[in-house]
Amino acid sequence: MDKFEQRLDQAARAAWLSYVGGRTQDEIASQLGVSRPGVQRLLALARQEGLVKVRIDHPIATCMMLSQQIGERFGLDFCDVVPVDTGTADSSYQYLAVAGAERLERYIERSAPLTLSLGSGRTVRAMVEALSRLDRPQHRFVSLVGNVARDGSSNRYDGIMVLADKTGGERFLLPAPVVAGSVEEKEAMLGQRLFHAVTDVALKAEAAFIGVGRIDRQAPLFQDHFINEGELDELLAMQAVGELLGWPMTQDGDVIDCSITRRVTSLPLELLRDQQLVALAGGREKAPAILAALRGGWLKGLVTDETAARFILDAES
Amino acid sequence: MDKFEQRLDQAARAAWLSYVGGRTQDEIASQLGVSRPGVQRLLALARQEGLVKVRIDHPIATCMMLSQQIGERFGLDFCDVVPVDTGTADSSYQYLAVAGAERLERYIERSAPLTLSLGSGRTVRAMVEALSRLDRPQHRFVSLVGNVARDGSSNRYDGIMVLADKTGGERFLLPAPVVAGSVEEKEAMLGQRLFHAVTDVALKAEAAFIGVGRIDRQAPLFQDHFINEGELDELLAMQAVGELLGWPMTQDGDVIDCSITRRVTSLPLELLRDQQLVALAGGREKAPAILAALRGGWLKGLVTDETAARFILDAES
DNA sequence: TCACTTGTCGATCAAATGATCGGACAATAC
DNA sequence: GTATTGTCCGATCATTTGATCGACAAGTGA
């Protein structure tokens, strides 16, 4: 589809003129030889395709303070706090995505070969979407969480896919569901050579960017049918408040050993202790889960928002 | 001025909501508790203070082709070509600034201590303005060109100043005019201990970001009264087409030895051969000067625009 | 060959944005 | 205490932007 490439080209040109040059759409129209609505469409395309990257480059005092306090208390290498948007909480994870992408870029930019691993979830996905294109074929990207749904369908647009596409790096996908159907199924999977090959790469990763899951009626594990209602109730009864990579934990960050845990196929958290584990999550609902992950000492880095940051510091003081 | 800081804070917040969150100014207004025109002013402030950084993240095919050809022909490590804006050529150097800042960021981002040197000129200045704030107190920044005007006044807002302010790094300013009043004055300067201290640092720089000067009636050397009309005529008579750091050169890139050269106080280009010399310049008028610099083999990197790139390739084929 | 689908383009209008202007409030001088 | 000056704020209007809709052209199948 060469036609599409050409269109993207012109979209990029329009974006330069509009966002960097500050020209009006009329001026751009006459310069590119299209109508004004044409420019409109080009700019919309440019944004949609993620050609336009905006970053706000100022440490907001409140956020800085929160990030410093959290970083100190939990011994993090870094903690980014993005401002909260009390309007629609829905698109709030866009902010996390942009801030997370900035951190991710720091790793990828390095020219020395690098192995990075990725968790699953909307926020992680949005982060790689927000990432700049950067040619780094020497890097390797590996998923920590199975990208196969329970019905056997593989998610073509996994975060790893997007990341590898954007950098030209190698991709390693975990051929498994997050939670296996049974203990036997999990055992069978762990025995597979391919499965082992991927987890071996994951263990060599330098850093891991993961999401944080809440454990309640809206838990992603439950919503995506990885666990059923009975299992969810079991987790809640055992005081689970959140999960990392599918591993449920109490509010103190201890991983809960139960019937579900024995079917989780993702890498045991213990094995990731040496890695830079970076979590991306925010919002009032996820705050208890984030706090649990911090208390457990699992994380080395955190990207969150004001709401969650405030909750965490309030709960700790 | 704590008041101003607070205002910037809110401006940053407004910018997040507007540019990353995509909210309308009305929504932002009600969220921040100010009137709509208030938000308007905040956003204007944010842009003016350079809080908002936009980057277009797509290789425009034409530009890519040009950059590749130039890079190959002149053995550059890299060559960036930004799209041209046939509208107002005046603000066109904004594009160069953004592209240059991206390159500069690559260096500064490194955490290992680094010494970088900077030339003078509007484009270089605009580049550091466009740079993101990044805390790197371990770096050193040094000017390759005197920042003292002929009347003795020092330019408070030298590029080095802005760069050091943004990173927290050390600054080394060359206490001299670009061109000394006389040969004796130059000799006296070279003898100064302070002058030597600065140039010693400059020689250790890893990379240098410099502008390219044209030599004609609009030559910056002439416009800023570093040389008078007679001297300009002398240079033109000797076939000078451009200059790097004040060193005039022919269209083949040979530095011209003349009465003016003997008064130039900046570092001899020969001494910078080992460094990553990166030039930032574009436009039809500067094109011959850029070509000369390339032919002389002085540059390792170039950030230019389509117009100049086309001129260069046409002249060489 | 004709009708129908599909996709693209431009006219038009509503919404959002940027800019100007006048007024209010505070600080300072008289 | 009053006047003056400067600054900040919000109402208003012109411009710019985003979205919808209808028209037209190209391609497709009958």
pLDDT of residue B215: 94
pLDDT band at B214 (very low <50, low <70, confident <90, very high): very high
Q: Give A 83-102 residues with CB within 8 A of chain B.
A: 83, 85-87, 91-92, 94-95, 98
**Domains defined for chain B, CATH in brackets:** 2-48 (1.10.10), 61-316 (3.40.50.1360)
Could you tell me what percent of chain B has a pLDDT over 70?
A: 95
The per-residue pLDDT for range A34-62, each reduced to its tens digit, is 888 888 999 988 888 888 888 888 878 78
What is residue A94's predicted lDDT score, i.e. its pLDDT? 85
Q: Which residue is nearest to nucleotide D16 (CA to C1')?
A: A24
A218 contacts A226 by C-beta, under 8 angstroms = no
Distance of alpha carbon B59 from alpha carbon A51, whole angstroms: 10
Q: What is the mean pLDDT of chain B?
A: 88
Quick check: A149 pLDDT over 70?
no
Give the pair of three-digit tokens for residue B281. Answer: 């310049």
Residue that the structure tokens 């896919």 belong to: A161
CA dist., res. A67 & res. A312, Å (int): 11
Cα A238 from Cα A228, distance rounded (Å): 16
**pLDDT value of position A2:** 63
Share of chain B above pLDDT 90, in %: 47
**Mode of pairing for the β-strands spanning B140-143 and B115-118:** parallel
Give how far B21 is from chain A: nearest CA, Å.
7
Statement: residue A91 has pLDDT above 70: no
A14 at interface of B, judged by CB pairs closer than 8 A: no
Positions on chain C within 7 A of a protein C-beta: 9-12, 15-20
Q: Is B126 on the interface with A (CB under 8 A)?
A: no
A193-234 tens-digit pLDDT = 888 889 899 999 999 999 999 999 999 888 888 888 999 999
Q: Alpha-carbon distance B197 to A290, whole Å?
A: 52
CA-CA-CA-CA torsion for B117, B123, B125, B129, nearest 10 degrees? -110
pLDDT at A235 over 90: yes
Instruction: With cut-offs at 50, 70 and 90, classify the pLDDT of residue A1.
Output: low
The residue type found at B173 is: L
Task: Please determine, for residue B202, whether its predicted confidence score (pLDDT) is greater than 70.
Answer: yes
Residues A143, A232 contacting (CB under 8 angstroms): no
User: Chain B: nearest CA to A257, how far in angstroms?
Assistant: 40
In chain B, the residue whose alpha carbon lies closest to the alpha carbon of A96 is B20
**In which band, very low, low, confident or very high, does the pLDDT at B242 lie, cut at 50, 70 and 90?**
very high
pLDDT digits (tens, 9 = 90+) for A265-295: 889 999 998 899 999 999 999 999 999 999 9
Facing B109 at nearest CB: one of A53, A54, A109: A109
Q: Which residue has better confidence, B281 or B88?
A: B281
pLDDT of the residue at B87: 64
- The protein residues having a beta carbon less than 7 Å from any atom of strand C are A 34-38, 41; B 18, 24-26, 36-37, 40, 43-44
Judged against a pLDDT cut of 70, whether residue B1 lies above it is answered with no
Nucleotides of D under 7 A from a protein CB: 9-12, 15-20
Q: Chain A 213-252, CB below 8 Å of chain B: which residues?
A: none
Please choose, from the candidates A303, A58, A85, the residue with its C-alpha nearest in 3D space to the C-alpha of residue B31: A85
Q: Which two tokens stand for residue B12?
A: 């940053």
